[in-house]
Amino acid sequence: MPISVITPVGRIVWGNPLNGKQKTDNNGQPMTGADGLPKMEWAFGLAVPKDQFDVSQKQGDPSLSAGMQTEAATLFPQGVPLTFAWKMKDGDLPEHSAKTGWAGCYVIAIATQAVAPPTGRFVNNTFTPMVEGVKAGDYVRAAITVKAHPGKAGAIGSKAGLYLNPDMVDFVGYGEAIVSGPDANTLFGAAPQAVLPPGASATPIAAAGVMPGAPAAAPQAQGMPAQGFYQPPGSVPNGAVAMGVPVQQSTTVQSPMGVPVQPAHDFVQNAGMPGQAPAQQQGMPG
């Protein structure tokens, strides 16, 4: 039976719970469903300090470590095989320790192919949804469902492991952005400065027929609808510029995750080692 767990506060080190991407197969090829539409996935890596991995976050609930091990044992009561995909990696291994935010942590892969998990933050003890503003480097905790699976028979590369599906994500605090991919200074820094080719300009070129120095068009007046759009009376807040786009009002929902927590500090460097860790860690997307 799947187990519900609230993770400790950790740092997003890759991915984003708000931004879905098309899922790829083991060869890196985009995947589609039976309906021909792209298979979407919302996934992120959460770096959990090792000294918090065995700590229950809610009275009566198992710790993240206990929940994962208990669920794995439902498939392998006599012992979990080394090939089991825990959806977790040890941030202190040589191949990971140099990655920003990984040292001193276990990094778990939280993912779903259903819909983007509800993500928000507590404001005055009320969970307020967010539709943007979350990035790799920020601190969150998540309510997740841990489910063991036996793997897909006959599917190349498929093996038994865990699903760590997000039910809700609680934004706790901002962190320094973690940027993946190549660095511009590394790629271009040692190369000679590019020379403008014939026909190129270092400044914007005016469109044909526009006289240099001609006055710009008058800006749209504050508080008036843009030309060609109808704006119902009272639908735009005082001081807003009406552009024919409705202004969304924030909504609030009650969260099952309890009381708000204080914004996290960068505790990764001071994280300790747990007394007991799960078995072989593997299976998390890079």
| Cβ contact 274:50 at 8 Å | yes
Give the confidence band of 23 by pLDDT, cuts at 50, 70, 90: confident
Q: Tell me, what's the pLDDT at 106? A: 98
pLDDT confidence of residue 141: 97
pLDDT of amino acid 247: 41
pLDDT of residue 251: 44
pLDDT at 28: 79
Dmax over CA atoms of the chain, in Å, equals 82
* Three-state DSSP state, 110: strand
Residue 274: what pLDDT? 42
Q: Residue 131 in contact with residue 18, Cβ under 8 Å?
A: yes
Give the HSE-up count for residue 43: Cα atoms under 13 Å, Cβ half-sphere. Answer: 21
Q: What is the mean pLDDT of the chain?
A: 78
pLDDT band at 285 (very low <50, low <70, confident <90, very high): very low
What band does 215 get if pLDDT is binned at 50, 70 and 90? low
Going by pLDDT thresholds of 50, 70 and 90, the confidence category of residue 232 is very low
Q: Which range, 36-45, 105-114, 224-233, has the best average confidence (pLDDT)?
A: 105-114
Q: Which residue has the higher pLDDT, 282 or 166?
A: 166
Q: Is the pLDDT of residue 123 over 80?
A: yes
Q: Which pair of tokens denotes residue 12?
A: 């997003």
Average pLDDT rounded to a whole number, residues 200-208? 81
- Which residue type is seen at 13? V
Alpha-carbon distance of 34 to 42, in angstroms, equals: 19
The answer on pLDDT for 238 being more than 70 is no
Residue that wins the pLDDT comparison between 63 and 283: 63
222 has pLDDT over 60? no
pLDDT at 237 over 70: no
182 pLDDT above the threshold of 70: no
pLDDT at site 250: 44
Structure tokens, 113: 């192919």
By percentage, how much of the chain surpasses pLDDT 70?
Answer: 68
Please tell me which residue, 65 or 240, carries the higher pLDDT value: 65
pLDDT at 280 over 80: no
Q: Predicted confidence band at 281 (pLDDT cuts at 50, 70, 90)?
A: very low
Distance CA 30, CA 22 (A): 6
Sign of CA dihedral 270, 44, 110, 157: negative
Q: What is the pLDDT of residue 276?
A: 43
* Mean pLDDT, range 58-68, rounded to an integer: 95
pLDDT of residue 245: 43
Give the pLDDT band (50/70/90) at residue 210: low
Q: Residue 217's pLDDT band (boundaries 50, 70, 90)?
A: low
Confidence of residue 185 (pLDDT cuts 50, 70, 90): low
Angle at 152 between CA 148 and CA 157, to 5 degrees: 100
